[in-house]
């Protein structure tokens, strides 16, 4: 139904959406949360950042009380108990249980506090493991996600369904767009929690000149990468929708792990070869989101070319983590 409307000719202007608004951001010191806070600041919002030190989102009554006291107009939920694939594999309980609780507490608290909208960061990992590529929103429920991050993915699905329920029952504008894998300046430095690009970047900047870069798996699975500032802009732009929608936020560009690893080498001006280790797991075979609905409903598309984003990330990693 919504797709039949003419596509907006330009992406939303964040200052029009957020200027003068009181906006709570959870996970405000995380990778995405910091980028969201920076964009809200530039848009003229009154940003009310929450980190774990200020408020433990696992504490339901504390979340309700704090949100009521802060009186936000909008809540942007970027907190997550999460990490890379290795962390998910070793912490299936925390990755499911804690995230269900955190998500539910913030959504419930935002509604009870009288906010007019809730925007929660969702993830492409909520899609079925085997899904036609590019992933379109209507296929979201057609199978079980990649089992390595099953409970985490299910926590994202619970939030999706509860957003739908809050809108249906209370008319509350609640949505959780599905974000592709993120990369860019400010990503995790802890190798145990790094995603694919962060893991490759961290290794490549430490390699001696000309040394080979070892890559887990066969190099054939595909991934999509969304630059951090594009992700923050896309997430915040969702407030421009006339009603909440299930919506992908990605680039629509699918890269093999081998091509990605080569792009990382190029961004770092590293001349070493790629060496694949097929004894290590490949993970989900293909991942790439359709961007058609975001373009049709929001007029939004990611702006940052991969090579440009990787160069910015390399510069940041080199400054944050000098070679040993």
Ligand X SMILES: NC(=O)c1ccc[n+]([C@@H]2O[C@H](COP(=O)([O-])OP(=O)(O)OC[C@H]3O[C@@H](n4cnc5c(N)ncnc54)[C@H](OP(=O)(O)O)[C@@H]3O)[C@@H](O)[C@H]2O)c1
The catalytic residue positions are: 152
| Residues 155-174 as b or e (16 or more Cβ within 10 Å = b) | bbbbbbebbbebbeeeebbb
Q: Provide the token pair at 240.
A: 């421009």
Binding-site string for ligand X from residue 200 to residue 239, where x marks contact by CB under 6 A and - marks none: ----------------------------------------
Query: If binding means CB under 6 A, how many residues of this protein chain bind ligand X?
Result: 25
Stretch that binds ligand X, among 39-47, 50-58, 250-258, 274-282 (CB under 6 A): 50-58
Q: Can you give 186-233 as a three-state secondary structure string?
A: CCCCCHHHCCHHHHHHHHHCCCCCCCCEEEEECCCCEECEEEHHHHHH
Q: Where are the alpha helices (DSSP H) in the chain?
A: 14-18, 31-42, 60-70, 85-90, 92-112, 150-170, 196-204, 228-237, 257-267, 292-298, 306-320
Binding-site string for ligand X from residue 184 to residue 203, where x marks contact by CB under 6 A and - marks none: -----------x--------
260 to each of 47, 107, 206, 298, how far by Cα in Å?
Answer: 35, 36, 18, 28
- Per CB under 6 A, 58 contacts ligand X: yes
- Per CB under 6 A, 57 contacts ligand X: yes
Stretch that binds ligand X, among 39-47, 73-81, 141-149, 304-312 (CB under 6 A): 73-81
Q: How far is the CB of 212 from ligand X (least distance, A)?
A: 26
* Contact residue for ligand X among 24, 110, 121, 298 (CB under 6 A): 121
Give 129 or 195: the residue with its C-beta nearer to ligand X.
195
Q: How far is CA 166 from the centre of its chain?
A: 22
Q: How far is the CB of 246 from ligand X (least distance, A)?
A: 15
- Which residues are 274's β-sheet partners? 213
Q: How far is the CB of 221 from ligand X (least distance, A)?
A: 16
Rounded to an integer, what distance in angstroms lies between the CA atom of residue 52 and that of residue 33? 12
Rounding to the nearest 10 degrees, give the CA dihedral for residues 84, 88, 292, 254: 50
Give 61 or 169: the residue with its C-beta nearer to ligand X.
61
Give 52 or 311: the residue with its C-beta nearer to ligand X.
52
Q: How far is the CB of 294 from ligand X (least distance, A)?
A: 15
* Contact residue for ligand X among 14, 17, 23, 32 (CB under 6 A): 32
Q: Provide the token pair at 213.
A: 């870069």
Stretch that binds ligand X, among 54-62, 64-72, 216-224, 304-312 (CB under 6 A): 54-62
Give 209 or 225: the residue with its C-beta nearer to ligand X.
225
- Which residues are 119's β-sheet partners? 76, 175
Compute and round to an integer the Cα radius of gyration of the chain: 19
Interface residue list for ligand X (CB under 6 A): 27, 29-33, 51-53, 55-58, 78-82, 102, 121, 123, 179, 181-182, 195
């Amino acid at each position: 139904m919504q797709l039949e409307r003419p596509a907006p000719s330009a992406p939303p202007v964040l200052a029009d959406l957020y200027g003068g608004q009181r906006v709570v951001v959870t996970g405000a010191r995380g990778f995405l949360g910091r980028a969201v806070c920076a964009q809200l600041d530039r848009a003229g919002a009154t940003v009310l950042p929450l980190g774990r030190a200020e408020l433990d989102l696992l504490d339901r009554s504390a979340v309700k009380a704090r949100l009521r006291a802060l009186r936000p107009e909008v809540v942007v939920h970027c907190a997550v108990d999460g990490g890379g694939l290795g962390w998910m594999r070793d912490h299936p309980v925390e990755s499911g249980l804690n995230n269900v609780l955190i998500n539910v507490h913030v959504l419930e608290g935002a509604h009870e506090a009288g906010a007019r909208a809730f925007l929660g960061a969702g993830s492409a990992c909520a899609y079925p493991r085997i899904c036609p590529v590019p992933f379109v929103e209507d296929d979201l429920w057609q199978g079980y996600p990649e089992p390595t991050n099953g409970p985490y993915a299910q926590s994202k699905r619970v939030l999706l369904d509860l957003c739908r329920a809050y809108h249906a029952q209370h008319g509350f504008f609640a949505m959780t767009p599905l974000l592709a894998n993120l990369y860019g300046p400010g990503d995790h430095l802890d190798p145990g929690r790094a995603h694919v690009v962060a893991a490759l970047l961290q290794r490549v900047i430490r390699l001696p000149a000309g040394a080979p870069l070892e890559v887990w798996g066969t190099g054939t699975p595909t991934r999509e990468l969304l630059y951090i500032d594009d992700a923050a802009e896309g997430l915040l732009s969702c407030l421009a929708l006339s009603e909440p929608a299930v919506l992908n936020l990605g680039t629509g560009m699918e890269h093999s792990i081998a091509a990605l690893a080569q792009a990382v080498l190029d961004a770092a001006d590293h001349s070493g070869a790629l060496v694949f280790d097929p004894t290590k797991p490949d993970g989900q075979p293909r991942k790439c989101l359709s961007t058609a609905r975001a373009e049709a409903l929001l007029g939004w598309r990611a702006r940052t070319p991969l090579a440009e984003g990787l160069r910015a990330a390399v510069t940041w990693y080199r400054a944050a983590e000098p070679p040993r």
